[in-house]
Chains A and B, each alone.
Chain A
Amino acid sequence: MSLLAPAALGLLALSIPLVVLYMLRSRRQRLVVSSVRLWEGEEEYVSAALPWQRLKITAALLLQLLTLAAFALLLARPFYQEATPLGPHTVVVIDTSGSMALAGRLEAAKSEARSLVVDVSEAQLVSLIEAGPRARVLAAFARDPNELRSQIDALVVSGGVEDLDGALRLARGLATPDRATSILLLTDGGIEGMVAEPIGNARHLLFDDVEDNVAITAFGAGAPGEGVARLFLEVTSFSASSTTAEVETRVDGLQVGTTSIRLEPGQRAQRYVPVDAGPGQVVEAEILANSDGNPLDDEAAAVLGANTYLTIAVMGEGSPFLDALVASLSGFGPAAGTSPDLVIRDGGSAAEVDRPTWLIAPVEPPPGVTITGRLENPVVTYQRSGEPLLDGLDLSELMIAEADIVQARGWLPLVQAGDVPLVLLGEVAGHRVVYFTFDLVRSNLPLQVSFPILGARIIEWLGGGQVSTAATAIAGAPIPLAPPAGSRTQITMPDGGKRELDGNVIEFLDTGQPGIYTVAYVAEDGATTGGFVAARQFAAAEAAGSSRRIATVSDEVGELEETTLLREWAPLILALILGLVLIEWWVAFGRPLPRFRKAEA
């Protein structure tokens, strides 16, 4: 134990006069009585000549000496050192992605964060960043523990993928040259490759608790019939034991069927469920009676597409799979001689792109892309996480005979075999382009259950979101708004909460909750002038609850771990003094309890 003000121990010298006071003969009060004859025998024989008496160690003296010592110790401010991750400026990044809902990871992270911010001293600053689907700064350069605690308490798990990169960019943006800034990551680590590692000036507190989990990992509309939609449903077990998932399907909140799916540990089951629903209706699926580690991924919702119609032309070699895909999409249809809205170019030249196009192994690549060779039997090694087009789809079993090796600067690779991209997104002459570097018919992709979903999403994306078989997206994806002039936007959240937005807001960003968002445009006179329903789904990649340790730079972390916090013993000593005073009072004057009992007796 060290002392901040050791000079205060000099107060212990007061114990000398205190002892002297006890050695001085007390001056008794003189009282005249009629006679002292009957008090004889009670007299205390003391020598009146000496002002001193022999020191008698009494309980009162001991208590007073102890109190004096405790008081001197209190003023000397004893303290001990405690290691704390807080530095001069600490940016705390808290992951609120869907996987943090598993086994109470977020609550543990919040608890850790709360315990840290309690220790914020005058010399320390703390910034708080939420790493949800959209990273955002909750508090910057704060030193008020109450403010920080309230921000931490308000955090809830979203259904989306964490934007850890964005959060780290925000964290680095908060760094100031005059103050050493460190980053504290409270996360389960997210998905491999999410951030460029190692991260400097950072420390990662890993939250990797796991529990059994059964999740809906994909949900969307399949090929429609006449007034009948086919829902694609994928349920995955992340449990260690076999289980049966009872999945209830609903249309506009009314139950229309139940599907029972038997799942072995780690198994993924896919089903097509026909439902009698049309465009604009809300379809939902929910795993019933599922008390697993993550309740957020037990539900999924989608909105069937509207009646907008776009034409698609399949050019080049084509294939029955593509024809069937186009025919299955609601709101899309083959072009009949007129200029198509979208093009699927299977082989051939892609030198000229004048509309949104899906390129499939073109002989001549589009501008900006160079074919440098061919790769036989590529194996999928990378699938971009958090990508809406791939959400819930597993392409690990994709087998390809041959793929072009391309160099595409500025294109976004979605699927790769090593360094060779297999699927890319890009833009040519202002038009959206999806580029498959392999021939569909020389792969098993058309035979996979996920092909209709992937194809539908690609075509929906190329169509600019104007038409979709099932208007849905991952939680966190913004909802585009188009309020009429003079109207404001009213949004009903999945939990029933209401949000009011001005008429000039064209995007609603707070879509972390999975579920149905009802958008209504309200005129100034209160009349509803339009609106729509949007669905946001739990990100399938988060359902697995995978965790990993993020690498950080060691030397900086070493310095960080040396940071210590001075904690004083004052509260404990104050309690001790109070206790001593009470005991002294009880001993010297009161002893009320025994006397009271005696009186009662």
Chain B
Amino acid sequence: MLLDAELRGRLERLALIGTRRVRGVWSGRHRSVRLGESLDFADYREYHPGDDFRRIDYNLWARLGVVLVRLFEAEDEMPLRVVIDTSASMGFGEKFETARRLAAMIAYLGLASGERVRLVTVPAPGRPALQGPWARHIGAWRRLESWLEGLEPEGGTDLPAAARMMAAPGAHRGPVVLVSDLLAPGWEQAVDLLGTVGGGVVVHVLSPAELDPDFTGDLTLRDAETKAEVPVSVSDAAVARYRQRMDAFQADAARRARRVRMEYIRVLARPEALEGALRELVAAGVVR
């Protein structure tokens, strides 16, 4: 069980907040990029044959002699897509378990808020991504949970491909939550692209051992995903320089996400990670 009953109860009292217009299939509570049938006036346009007569503004026709019809805002459901990184690099420490529970928590939040939710994995290079089914009701939670439990960290990461898939034209346009360690080439491009889709959150999952390496000596470090090897003499000075690069990496990720109007939260892969992440989501205004 990814989420215990107590946490689920708390999540059911919260709701996801959409900050951008969405485009969904079904009507809902969020302003859509389309025009529709709500009570909120949006614009005028010239009458075309076939338009509903009830939307003709007769006052303007009488005063100006031009036949215009009133347009109204549409309200759609918010299609929430949670992209989870299942690459081999996520298999270190408790990163993947933490990422999976984070994805579950956000998906549950969406379901509890009455949104349409879909879980997607980041594809490995040259391979298709795994996409879960769309779910809209809390009753579909068990299905999503079992789908998540079936994932294993393995293979490489193609974050740009995942971003392109999210940005592809289609019926759904809404926020994307990326749960990843971003330790893959092209993460910058991916974040930029996701920012154009509909906003969302970059959840940066890192393990404590990645922040503070506990090995020393002459080593050949091997990349879990790319299998690339780097001969390194891990000294105190080298570790200090690594920490500087790690700090710069996190700062860069946060800056890049916020530049494309996405929220950024960093989560350390620990058992209490969900509590901290939830607090940060609330603080960022994503959840209320």
Binding site for B on A (CB under 8 A): 26, 28-46
Does B229 lie at the interface of the complex (its beta carbon under 8 Å from any beta carbon of A)? yes
In Å, the complex CA distance between A41 and B223 comes to 15
Given A34-B95, A43-B232; 19 other pairs, CB 8 A cutoff: A28-B218, A29-B219, A30-B229, A31-B215, A31-B221, A31-B222, A33-B221, A34-B88, A34-B89, A34-B92, A35-B181, A35-B183, A35-B224, A36-B230, A39-B232, A42-B234, A42-B241, A43-B231, A45-B231
Find the B residue at minimum CB distance from A595: B236
Which of B90, B91, B184, B223 has the most chain A CB atoms inside 10 A of its CB? B223
In the complex, how many angstroms separate the beta carbon of B288 from the nearest chain A beta carbon? Answer: 34
Given A34-B207, A38-B249, CB of A28 within 8 Å of CB of B228: no
The interface residues of chain B lying within 8 Å CB-to-CB of A41 are 241, 245
Binding site for A on B (CB under 8 A): 88-92, 95, 181, 183-185, 207, 210, 215, 217-226, 228-234, 238, 241-242, 245-246, 249
The interface residues of chain A lying within 8 Å CB-to-CB of B229 are 30, 36
Given A41-B245, A42-B242, CB of A35 within 8 Å of CB of B230: no
Which residue from B223, B233, B249 sits with its C-beta under 8 Å from A44? B233
Find the A residue at minimum CB distance from B215: A31
In Å, the complex CA distance between A38 and B239 comes to 11
The interface residues of chain A lying within 8 Å CB-to-CB of B233 are 42, 44
A-B pairs with beta carbons under 8 A, tally = 83
Name 11 A/B residue pairs within 8 A (Cβ), A-sorted: A26-B218, A31-B215, A32-B222, A33-B222, A34-B181, A34-B207, A34-B210, A35-B184, A36-B230, A37-B223, A38-B183
Which of A41, A42, A43, A46 has the most chain B CB atoms inside 10 A of its CB? A42
In Å, the complex CA distance between A40 and B183 comes to 13
Which of A26, A28, A37 has the most chain B CB atoms inside 10 A of its CB? A37
- Main secondary structure on B side of the interface with A: mixed
In the complex, how many angstroms separate the beta carbon of A61 from the nearest chain B beta carbon? Answer: 16
Given A32-B224, A34-B210, A34-B224, CB of A40 within 8 Å of CB of B230: yes
The interface residues of chain A lying within 8 Å CB-to-CB of B95 are 34
Find the B residue at minimum CB distance from A44: B231
Given A42-B241, A42-B242, CB of A34 within 8 Å of CB of B183: yes
The interface residues of chain A lying within 8 Å CB-to-CB of B185 are 37
Given A30-B220, A44-B233, CB of A35 within 8 Å of CB of B225: yes
The interface residues of chain B lying within 8 Å CB-to-CB of A43 are 230-232
The interface residues of chain B lying within 8 Å CB-to-CB of A44 are 231-233
In Å, the complex CA distance between A38 and B229 comes to 12
Which residue from B89, B181, B220, B249 sits with its C-beta under 8 Å from A28? B220
The interface residues of chain B lying within 8 Å CB-to-CB of A31 are 215, 219-222
Given A28-B231, A33-B92, CB of A38 within 8 Å of CB of B242: yes
Which residue from B184, B225, B238, B249 sits with its C-beta under 8 Å from A42? B238
In Å, the complex CA distance between A26 and B218 comes to 9
